[in-house]
Amino acid sequence: MDIPASLAAAARGDQAAWDALVRQFSGLLWSIARAHRFSDADAADAVQCTWIKLVEHLDGIAEPERLAGWLATTARHECLQLLRRAGRLPEPAEEIADSPDPAPDVDHAMLVGERNAALWRVFEELPDRCRRLLRVLMASPPPAYAEVALALDMPVGSIGPIRQRCLGRLKALVRGNEVLEERS
């Protein structure tokens, strides 16, 4: 999609162009709110506030081609404001150690169909820093690392290595899960 063109059209009041932006980026914004462990209501609030800020700044986006990054940054600020308002401060990020053993491979047959539900439960057991990063990486459509970095205030260069370690942790949990381990 041509994001600068959609943004310019939306700034002229074109609802269809605006809706195209909403479809393109709502998945990313929702994942950022969820990465902050917000409830449905708080996540909806954070996402809505981000869109309203964009409406307010429709004529003032300096680099329209980097809209995704602007939205990711704005969503993070909205999430932090909500956390402060609620008297909850973000927890310091813990270090993610490598899995003790090389991450076992996970084959695709284990993870199809109804097993997604078990996979989702296992995902929720991950340490917070892993959950946070992977939840944003899981957004649809997949975000670029630059946007993930802005969403989570992480250096871009750290995302690849932490992603690898966190997926390794998750694979280890999957291997230890009866539902996921059982083969049909």
**CA–CA separation, 91 and 85 (whole Å):** 15
Burial label for 144, CB within 10 Å (0-12, 13-18, 19+), is middle
* Closer to another protein by Cβ: residue 46 or 150: 46
| CA 166 – CA 95 distance, rounded (Å) | 11
**What secondary structure letter does DSSP report for 87?**
T
The least CB distance from residue 171 to another protein, in Å, is 7
For residue 72, give Cα distances in angstroms to 10, 87, 101, 154. Answer: 19, 23, 35, 12
Q: How far is the CB of 31 from another protein (least distance, A)?
A: 7
Q: Which is nearer to another protein, 89 or 97 (CB)?
A: 89
User: Residues interacting with another protein, by CB under 8 A?
Assistant: 10, 13, 15, 18-19, 22-23, 26-27, 30-31, 34, 40, 43-45, 47-49, 51-56, 58, 81-82, 84-87, 105-108, 111, 116-117, 119-120, 123, 134-135, 137-140, 142, 163-164, 167, 170-171
* Closer residue to another protein in complex, CB, 116/158: 116
